Amino acid sequence: AQKITQTQPGMFVQEKEAVTLDCTYDTSDQSYGLFWYKQPSSGEMIFLIYQGSYDEQNATEGRYSLNFQKARKSANLVISASQLGDSAMYFCAMREGHTGNQFYFGTGTSLTVIP
C-alpha cells in the first residue's frame, strides 16, 4: 500500500484565491511526522510546513496551513492568497516514528497559478 497518496496530479488556481492540495497517508505508527515541500522548476526541495502526529493544533506558516485530520489520515495543504510564484510541484511526505530516518513521498501535485 502507498504510504502517501496525492490524488491531484495537477491543479489550477486564480491568483489571490486559496487552494487546497490533498494528501492522505497510511501508517500504523502512533508517532509520525507529516511534511509538505515545494519544488519549483529549478528542482530544489523547499520545506513549507510540518505537522507532528501529536500536535493538537493545525500547523500554520504564513500563507501555508495544514488541515490535519488524524482520524481520516489526511494532511491537506492550504495555500491562501495564491501568488504567481506559488506555481510549482508540491510533495507531501511522511516520516514514521519520532526518530525514523526514511521519508515517504507522494507523487506530487503540480500547481499552476493563473493571473
CB of 31 to other proteins, least distance (A): 11
| Residue numbers 62-91 binding other proteins by CB under 8 A | 91
Phi, psi of 81 (to 5 degrees): 45, 60
Pair type for strands 64-69 and 74-79: antiparallel
Q: How many residues of this chain bind other proteins (CB under 8 A)?
A: 22
Q: How far apart are CA 113 and CA 102, in angstroms?
A: 31
- Of positions 28, 30, 41, 99, contacts other proteins by CB under 8 A: 99
- Return the number of the residue (22 or 52) whose C-beta is nearest other proteins: 52
Residues comprising the chain, all counted? 115
**Binding window for other proteins (CB under 8 A); candidates: 58-66, 69-77, 78-86, 94-102:** 94-102
Strand partners of residue 72: none
All 3 cell numbers of residue 63? 500563507
Q: Which helix (H) or strand (E) holds 42?
A: none
User: Which residues sit at the interface with other proteins, rule CB under 8 A?
Assistant: 33, 35, 37, 42-45, 47, 50, 52, 91, 95, 98-99, 101-103, 105-108, 110
